[in-house]
Amino acid sequence: MAQFTPGTSVLKAVDRLPGVSFSSTDPLGIDTWGSSIYVRGFFMDQIGVTLDGIPLNDQTYESNNGLNVIQASISDDIERSVLSEGPGGVDVPSTSTLGATLQFETSDPKDKAGGKISQGFGSYSSYRTYIRADTGKLNASGTKAYVAYSRSQEGKWMGGGDQFQQQVDAKIVQPIGHDSVIKAFFNWSDMQEWGYQDTSLAMLKTLGWRVPHLYPNYGLATAYAAGEVSLPTSDAIEANGDEPYLYDGGQAEVDYTGGLNLDLVLTDRLRWRSTIYGTSQTGYYTYSDYETPSADTGAPFSEEVWQNRQERYGFTTSLNYHIAHHTIDTGVWFENNNQQADLFWYNEPLLGTGAPLKTVGPYNTYGKAFMQGYGFVWHTNNFTYHLEDTWRPLENVRISAGFKSMISTTAGGANYNNSDYTGADALPNGSMTASAAFLPHVGGSWHFLSHHELYFDLAENMRSYQVLPNGVGNSLWSVQDQETFQQLRHTVKPERDWVYAVGYRYTDKYVQASLAGYHADASHRLQSATEGTITNPVSSVTQTSVHTNGVDASLTLTPFKGLTLYNSVSYNHSTYGGNITTADGIYYTKGKKVVNYPQFMYKANLSYRWKGLETHFDVHYYSKRYFSYTNDTSVPGYWLASAGARYNAGNWGLAKNITFDFNVYNLFNSKYISMMGENGNPMSGDYQSLERGSPRQFFGTVSTEF
């Protein structure tokens, strides 16, 4: 993390590891609409993610069952990241884990009173401020706390608007005796981001690389919507139903995250750990809509706004007991999630009669809606139980065996339907339960020689049903009508998979090497094919299977003090196990490659530290990625390089560790597609569901502690 520009998403930092693919429209990876992460082919809604023991679940944009980690904590305050690229542990509280887990931990307050200030600047008028104050130990029992604030405004490299976020972190630590501790954590996040324009292959071919939203040219947007001016287009763009000249698009989101961690040593053999938590998320996600004129003002277009809200409350509790050569861990997780998703249209002013709705940034106050498309309300209860025994028959051998039981029930659905918009007499409403009494997990490692280790890992996983509204994703509630929902709920099963991994590691002072092979068989995977336009998507849902084989290898050389050379290669062969039938007919997807994920990746990092100076150079290669499920469209592979330097100038008076940081993103100014499928993927051909990556940008930061 230290080599990245301060404020960079911790998800992006994970991208250096083999098998991980992170992409984003912006250099720091904070644009949640235009960013994605895959681990060995598993998407970010199939990975278990926690922060200080709080389950974050689905990391996707507009998530209805989770919270992106960048909105749950300031990245500067995250001290530790643990990625398990295998099947994931049974003790990780999650209903989304099919493969891999990411566990983040925030730093504790410092023992001595002090603080830190950093100020960063970057290309396109970007800036970021971070301030933190630590109380130090306040009494003999060791009570300590900190509070931190960050404010960032990342200028857009294409089009008008910016990407703004401010956050507050606070943490209190209360030791109890010598080994027990209670920690309380809180975060507030306010995000207002203008999104980048979605594009398609046809748009890129016809209109070129930089085709932004029309904002802030409201006059041109109004004239275009009224048919008074024509802008470049093509037959392919028209055939796709692309909307290449939208006025704007973005999001405004306010999130609260709070938790209480208890780690209590009851005896010299028994430890009790618990987490009590709550999260609240209120979001407004928007596009200008040229298909729907404003009803009350006469403006030729309106603002379409998806309004989501969720509140999650839950707890985890576990007991860890040591006896002989065994460590037994058992515990439960419960969570209640209240979810809401609505779609509204708001009036834009007629040109010359008032200010457009967005004059500062994505908004959350805009008067009365003149039309509603749908309304959904769900209530979800999640419960898991786990039991695991870790046995060390020899000092150099570890064997773990356990299982997880899981039940997740969602009840609810549509509570409002505008049939003129949806085309359905009734939208989906009803309950669905995903349950499994026994999901086994077995693993082990053997340090057979000094520096050498062999390991294996296998598990069966299950993911609960996704909760999404009409027409927007892989969810039974997103299908067209109640009749289809009723048919599917009796035939569709929750997605499950078996994941297997074996590997070898070598570690000494000069060489760290690893080689891992893995296999996964996923069944009952819900697959959505998206049609229509990005402002009026139509999603059909069907089930398929996926089969994966892959290998990762990495090598780190430290030939002498200060110099480190890291290289990794990854190969992943993931294919669909059957053909997909939709209302349009049969699509022959059996044996076709999985969309959006590169088969081959190469990554290298060269870093050198000398006294207070550290420099680094990164280069990544991502191979071709398929866009359509039938693999008849794809985007080419690309190289992406970055570089940076950091210098610690030492202390000056009260200022300590004065540090100057400089980074260059996309050093060679490559043109590449970053996020894919943000609006869904087409079964065949093209669709307006691609995002472009950022060009070369520069960032500098000055920081000091006191």
| CATH number of the CATH domain containing 346 | 2.40.170.20
For residue 368, count other CB atoms closer than 10 A to its CB.
8
In a domain, 308, yes or no: no
Domain extent for 582: 10-303+332-360+374-705
The model's pTM is 0.94
Query: What is the token pair recorded at 21?
Result: 């693919």
- Alpha-carbon distance 215 to 263, whole Å? 51
In a domain, 500, yes or no: yes
- The structural domain count of the chain equals 1
In a domain, 311, yes or no: no
Encode pLDDT of 395-433 as tens digits: 999 999 999 999 999 999 999 999 999 999 999 999 999
In this prediction, residue 473 carries a pLDDT of 74
In this prediction, residue 538 carries a pLDDT of 65
In a domain, 318, yes or no: no
In a domain, 646, yes or no: yes
Measure CA of the first residue to CA of the last residue in the chain; give whole Å.
21
In a domain, 532, yes or no: yes
Residues of the chain with pLDDT under 70: 359-365, 529-532, 538-540
- Alpha-carbon distance 199 to 158, whole Å? 13
- Alpha-carbon distance 464 to 274, whole Å? 23
In a domain, 321, yes or no: no
The single-letter code of the amino acid at 273 is R
In a domain, 317, yes or no: no
Residue partners of 701: CB distance under 8 A and separation at least 6: 5, 6, 118, 119, 120, 121, 128, 659, 660, 661, 662
- Alpha-carbon distance 22 to 549, whole Å? 20
Task: Count how many residues are written for the chain.
Answer: 706
In this prediction, residue 355 carries a pLDDT of 87
In this prediction, residue 584 carries a pLDDT of 76
In this prediction, residue 494 carries a pLDDT of 94
Encode pLDDT of 3-37 as tens digits: 899 999 999 989 999 999 999 999 999 999 999 99
Kind and range of the H or E run holding 12: helix 10-13
